[in-house]
Amino acid sequence: MKAQAIYNVPRSILGEGPVWDDRLNALYWVDIIGGKVHGLKDNRVDTVFQINDFVTCVALTSNPNYLLVTLKDRVVLVDVNARSIVKTLAKVDEPSTNRLNDCKVDAAGRLWFGSMDMNEREPSGSLYVLDPSGTVRKVLSGVTISNGIVWSLDNKFMYYIDSPTRKIMVFRFDLDKGELMNKAMDIDLSRHEGIPDGMTIDSEGYLWVAMYGGGRVLRIDPGKRVVIDEVDVPVSYTTSCTFGGDGLMSLYITTARNYPREVEREGDDGKVFIANTEIRGYTANKYLVNL
């Protein structure tokens, strides 16, 4: 399977965190370094939020006019029409050399979000959960680059990536409590090109993992822990993916430029790519807000 660049999207420095809003038929993604949330709807691109900070992840809420956005060390609620922050929902205490990174909403409407060492060396990062009530809990520490988060279709497992380990961790998951239980066997991706970054799941329960530096997205059977298919992307820094479009049958893939050395080079790196998988994805969960 091959992916193609969407011609009219801007090149991000570090494109990340794509999420499809099935209520609006819109794709959102972030440019972490550029400090932006972009939206794509009816073939039109719009910058829906911009700030002089890292914009590390975007998530849907139960109200389509509001998004959750994670910055360097905060989770904020953004009014999409006003393009501004309504309020800060949580702030985490992290070393100044850390920033937040990927996030995902679970089936109970909680936001899971993690942090990373910006030097990509120290295991100084953590994984947090923000409940709809506004309470934040730290659920894991000792993470170096917190990345992809996904739940099995029955919510009995959570899959989680700390990129430098080149593995997908598998946890038993308690959806009612929002807790990780015992760890099952990891899925080792160290024999594949690139390092595992963002991921999503399809309606058949298979994982799709963007391989940063590998220019591809792997489709993985998490039960057998094997790669069963892949999407070739014509640029190296594939960062994350999500299903969207008509019937959720297309895979949208974010990418980064080969920064900072080649920031000015022309090309498609940093754009969003699309692959027609003819496999259905799943609908993104929404964080529960009362507005």
* Active site (catalytic) residues: 197
Q: Which of 6, 10, 38, 70 is nearest to 257 (CA)?
A: 10
Q: Which amino acid is at 219?
A: R
Contact 170, 222 (CB under 8 A): yes
Please tell me whether residue 196 binds Zn ion under the rule CB under 5 A: no
* Nearest distance, CB of residue 56 and Zn ion, angstroms: 9
Please tell me whether residue 197 binds ligand GCO under the rule CB under 6 A: yes
- If the CB atoms of residues 194 and 222 are measured against ligand GCO, the closer one turns out to be 194
- How far apart (Å, rounded) are the C-alpha atoms in residues 227 and 221? 6
147 marked among binding-site residues: yes
Please tell me whether residue 70 binds Zn ion under the rule CB under 5 A: no
- If the CB atoms of residues 205 and 213 are measured against ligand GCO, the closer one turns out to be 213
Please tell me whether residue 239 binds ligand GCO under the rule CB under 6 A: yes
Please tell me whether residue 73 binds ligand GCO under the rule CB under 6 A: no
Backbone angles phi, psi at 6, to 5 degrees: -80, 120
- If the CB atoms of residues 145 and 231 are measured against ligand GCO, the closer one turns out to be 145
Contact 61, 288 (CB under 8 A): yes
Contact 102, 30 (CB under 8 A): no
Q: Note the residue count of the chain.
A: 291
From start to end of 80-225, where are the E strands?
A: 84-91, 98-105, 111-117, 125-130, 136-143, 146-151, 157-162, 167-174, 179-183, 187-188, 195-201, 207-212, 216-221
Residue 248 DSSP SS3: helix
* Nearest distance, CB of residue 147 and ligand GCO, angstroms: 5
Please tell me whether residue 114 binds Zn ion under the rule CB under 5 A: no
* Nearest distance, CB of residue 38 and ligand GCO, angstroms: 16
Part in contact with Zn ion (CB under 5 A); list of ranges 6-14, 95-103, 122-130, 213-221: 95-103
Q: Within 145-164, which residues bind ligand GCO (CB under 6 A)?
A: 145, 147, 163
Residues that bind Zn ion in the complex, under the rule CB under 5 A: 102, 147, 197-198
Residues that bind ligand GCO in the complex, under the rule CB under 6 A: 14, 16, 32, 101-102, 120, 145, 147, 163, 197, 212, 239
Binding-site annotation: residue ranges for a divalent metal cation: 16, 147, 197
